[in-house]
Amino acid sequence: MNKTDVTIIGGGPAGLFASFYSGLRGMSVRILDFQNKLGGKMQIYPEKVIWDIGAIAPKPCYEVIQDLIQQGLHFNPEVCLEEKVIDIKKVQEKHFIIYTEQGSEYHTKSIIIAIGSGIIKPLTLDIEGAERYELTNLNYVVQSIKKFENKHVLISGAGNSALDWACDLSDYAKSITICYRKEDISGHEHMKQRLNDLNITKKPSMAIKQLNSHIDKPVISEVVLEHVDTKEQETLQVDEVIISHGFDQDSELLHNAQTKVNLVSDYYIEGLGNTQTSVPGIFGAGDILKHEAKAHLIASCFNDAANAANLAKRYIDPNAQDGGLVSSHNELFKERNKEVIKNYVSKG
């Protein structure tokens, strides 16, 4: 039985930094993630610009992800992708068993739950035959802005994500139209003003009724919109369609596990003033964790991760120090620090 010191459920920013800091504390680490690659929800928006990480200038998500992955894998954790965790059982102190949908069992001394918003899947368009266009021009996420350059784009949805994409793509697309079922959009007030300033066409109380293709290939060429009250219809010529109706968030693990942690609002893990949970040996980090002092920013997940790793170390070894040495004084980084300084000096 391979019992790892700490198993991290979730390979997003919180999980990756928890991996790094756990390795820094000399613990063996395993990362489990449902997706086929590390990075968490940030992989959905690779070209979104990230502003809210201290000391990092604004940069696209995909660049932040690469740095996070490089750092998170520094101490060579075991990484298990495409594993959906469905159950956690505490056998005894310092011994948990994690069960996955794929039939695997992982034994570990402690657990850090860093699942962000849970397993997220975009809500799909509920129209018969819509799936045939998913490989061409029906989009549930925006992976590349270039795809929409000089295109007539229809966005369905009026939440913050839909409005963000409308504004971000307006500099590249030939035209942007937003349709939404309500009379008014639900995003932040400043975003509504931006829509007006950018001359984005709004179709309130309208929903997609039908997708049409006038060629043999499964490519949407026009969309039929229908008014939710009057049932009047309107046809738009389009090149690309973006569906931004939100995400289905799967948090079954926290409700169905044999060993349950206390929750807040029936969804978030209750942090006991920090990353401790109601179950000794299980810790939380990132968006899934909630307590009174918590700020829900990417930046705050790094503090969560380090705190969770330190508490896991103390749980496994009560005689361990409260925290690890900072990198500038840590022998683990001595040689690597020399390389970094040498490169810095050589660049003048």
> What pLDDT is attached to residue 136?
94
- Helix, strand, or coil here: 74? coil
Using CB atoms within 10 Å of the CB of residue 51, give its burial: 0 to 12 exposed, 13 to 18 middle, 19+ buried: exposed
> What pLDDT is attached to residue 305?
97
Alpha carbon 345 to chain centroid, angstroms = 37
176: β partners: 153
Nearest CA among 155, 184, 157, 189 for reference residue 170: 155
Q: How many CA atoms lie within 13 A of 129 on its CB side?
A: 8
Give CA–CA dist 208/227, Å, rounded.
Answer: 9
> What pLDDT is attached to residue 211?
96
Give CA–CA dist 67/136, Å, rounded.
Answer: 31
Average pLDDT over residues 216-239: 95
Average pLDDT over residues 314-338: 83
Q: How far is CA 161 from CA 11, 244, 256, 331, in A?
A: 22, 7, 30, 44
Give CA–CA dist 231/229, Å, rounded.
Answer: 6
Give every CB contact of residue 160 below 8 A, 6+ residues apart in sequence: 187, 188, 191
Phi and psi angles of residue 177, each rounded to the nearest 5 degrees, phi first: -125, 135
Q: Quick check: do 3-120+248-343 and 124-245 share a fold?
A: yes
Nearest CA among 25, 1, 238, 262 for reference residue 133: 238
More confident: 162 or 326: 162
Using a pLDDT cut of 70, give the percent of the chain over it. 97
Q: Could you read off the pLDDT of 159-172 as tens digits, one per residue?
A: 888 988 999 999 99
Q: What is the dihedral of CA 118, 284, 65, 190, to 10 degrees?
A: 70
Domain ranges of the chain: 3-120+248-343, 124-245
Q: Write out the binding residues for FAD.
A: 33, 41, 45, 85, 120, 287, 328
Average pLDDT value over all residues in the chain = 91
Give the CATH number of domain 3-120+248-343; options: 3.50.50.60, 3.40.50.2300, 3.30.70.260, 3.30.465.10.
3.50.50.60
Give every CB contact of residue 247 below 8 A, 6+ residues apart in sequence: 117, 120, 121, 122, 123
Q: What is the DSSP letter of 179?
A: E
> What pLDDT is attached to residue 32?
98
Q: Write out the binding residues.
A: 33, 41, 45, 85, 120, 287, 328
Alpha carbon 329 to chain centroid, angstroms = 33
The answer to whether 158 and 182 are in contact (CB under 8 A) is: yes
Give the CATH number of domain 124-245; options: 3.40.50.1970, 3.50.50.60, 3.30.1370.60, 3.65.10.10.
3.50.50.60
> What pLDDT is attached to residue 295?
86
Give the global pTM. 0.85
Q: Please count the residues of the chain.
A: 348
> What pLDDT is attached to residue 348?
61
More confident: 271 or 188: 271
13: β partners: none
Q: Could you read off the pLDDT of 4-59 as tens digits, one per residue?
A: 999 999 999 999 999 999 999 999 999 999 999 999 988 888 888 898 898 889 99
